[in-house]
Chains A and B, each alone.
Chain A
Amino acid sequence: MKDVLISAKSLKKEFYTGETSQTIFENLTLDIYKGDFTIIMGASGAGKSTLMYSLSGMDRPTSGSIVFSDKEITEYNDDELAVFRRKNCGFVFQQIYLLEKMSLMDNVLTAGALCNDNKKDVIKRAKELFSLVNIPEITQKKFSTQVSGGEAQRAGIVRAVINKPSVVFADEPTGALNSNNSEAVLNVFTKLHREGQSIIMVTHDKKTALRGNRVLYIRDGQIFGDCDLGNYSETDNERERKLDRFLTEMGW
Chain B
Amino acid sequence: MRKIKSQLIYNLKKDKGSYISFGIVVLITAIMLNLAFVLLFQVDKAYDDKFNRLNTASFNFTILKIQNDDTLKEDIRALDDVVDIECREAVFAEAVVKDFRDTDFSMNTLFYNKDEFRNMNKLDIKEEKAEMTDNSIYLPLYVSAFGEFGIDDEIVYEIGDTKHSFKVSGVAEEMQYGNYGKGLMGAYLPEKVYEKFAEEYKEQTVMEYSVITNGDINTLQNEISDLTEKKGITMLTSCDRVSTKDTRTMVCNLIILVLSAFAMIILLVSVFLCKFRISNSIEEDMVNMGVLKALGYTGNMIIAGVVLPYLMVTVFASLSGVVLSYSVLPVLAEILTLQAGFSFALSFDIKGLICVMIILAVIVSLFTYTSAKRIRKLQPINAIRGNGEGKSVKKNYFPLDETNGRTKFLLVMKQTFSNGKQNVLLFGVSFVLTILVAFAGTMFYNVIIEPDNFISTLSEEMPQIIISPDMEQEDFISDELKSNTEIKSVLKYAVGTVNTDDMPVTVFACEDFSRVSNDLCYLGENPDEKNEIALGSAFEGKYDIGDRIEMHNGDISHFYEVTGFVQSVNYQGNVCEFSLEGYEMLCSEKLVPALYVYLDNPADTEKIFKEIEETYSDKIISIMNYQKMTETTQEMYSGITSVIVVVIFILTILIVLFVLYIVIKTLLVKRKQELGIYKAIGYSNRQLMIQTIGSFLPSSVIAVLLSSALGMIYVPKINQFIFETIGAMKNNMEVSFVFLMIFAFVQITANLIISILLTKPIKKISAYALIKEG
Contact = CB atoms under 8 A, between A and B. Distances in A.
Interface of A: 49, 53, 58-59, 78-79, 82-83, 85-87, 89, 91, 93-95, 97-103, 105-106, 109-115, 117, 119, 122-123, 126, 141, 143, 145, 159, 163, 171
B81 to A, nearest CB: 76
B717 to A, nearest CB: 42
A95 B774 contact: yes
B399 A141 contact: yes
A101 B418 contact: yes
Contacts of A126: 401
Interface of B: 391, 394, 396, 399-401, 406-408, 411, 414-415, 418, 673-674, 676-686, 763, 767-768, 770-771, 774
B607 to A, nearest CB: 65
Contact of A79 (B408, B680, B685): B685
Contact of A58 (B400, B674, B686, B767): B767
A198 to B, nearest CB: 17
B406 to A, nearest CB: 8
A123 B401 contact: yes
Contact of B681 (A49, A91, A94, A141): A91
B414 A83 contact: no
Contact of B683 (A82, A95, A122): A82
A114 B401 contact: no
Contacts of A102: 396, 414
A85 B685 CA distance: 13
Nearest to B680: A91
Given A79-B684, A141-B396, 13 more contacts: A82-B682, A83-B682, A89-B682, A97-B680, A99-B678, A101-B674, A105-B401, A106-B414, A113-B407, A113-B408, A113-B411, A117-B406, A119-B406
A119 B407 contact: yes
Contacts of A49: 771
A79 B394 contact: no
A97 B686 CA distance: 22
A171 B771 contact: yes
A49 B415 CA distance: 31
Contacts of A101: 394, 396, 414-415, 418, 674
B584 to A, nearest CB: 82
B400 A106 contact: yes
A93 B771 contact: yes
Contacts of B685: 78-79, 82
A171 B679 CA distance: 16
Nearest to A86: B682
The 6 closest A-B pairs by CB, nearest first: A86-B682, A113-B407, A109-B400, A82-B684, A59-B768, A79-B684
Contacts of A95: 774
A176 to B, nearest CB: 11
Contacts of A145: 391
Contacts of B679: 82
B774 A58 contact: no
Contacts of A163: 682
Among A89, A109, A159, chain B packs the most CB atoms within 10 A around the CB of: A109
B399 A97 contact: no
Contacts of B682: 82-83, 85-87, 89, 111, 114-115, 163
A109 B771 CA distance: 22
A97 B768 CA distance: 12
Contacts of B415: 101
A106 B394 contact: no
Contacts of A112: 407
Nearest to B681: A111
A58 B399 contact: no
A148 to B, nearest CB: 15
B681 A159 contact: yes
Contact of B399 (A53, A99, A103): A103
B686 A79 contact: yes
A85 B686 contact: no
A172 B674 CA distance: 20
A53 B767 CA distance: 10
Contacts of B418: 101
A78 B764 CA distance: 10
A110 B681 contact: yes
A58 B394 contact: no
A78 B763 contact: yes
A145 to B, nearest CB: 8
Contacts of B391: 145
A159 B677 CA distance: 11
Given A95-B774, A101-B418, A123-B401, A58 B684 contact: no
Given A58-B767, A100-B674, A159-B681, A105 B399 contact: yes
B763 A58 contact: no
Contacts of B767: 58
A109 B638 CA distance: 58
A110 B770 contact: no
Among A83, A101, A122, A159, chain B packs the most CB atoms within 10 A around the CB of: A101
Among B418, B673, B684, B774, chain A packs the most CB atoms within 10 A around the CB of: B684
Contacts of B414: 101-102, 106
A126 B399 CA distance: 14
Among B406, B681, B768, chain A packs the most CB atoms within 10 A around the CB of: B681
B681 A106 contact: no
Given A53-B768, A110-B681, A103 B407 contact: no
Among B418, B682, B684, chain A packs the most CB atoms within 10 A around the CB of: B682
Contacts of A122: 407
Contacts of A94: 774
Contacts of B774: 93-95, 97
A114 B683 contact: yes
Contact of A97 (B394, B401, B407, B770): B770
Nearest to B682: A86
Contact of B396 (A59, A83, A113, A143): A143
A24 B673 CA distance: 25
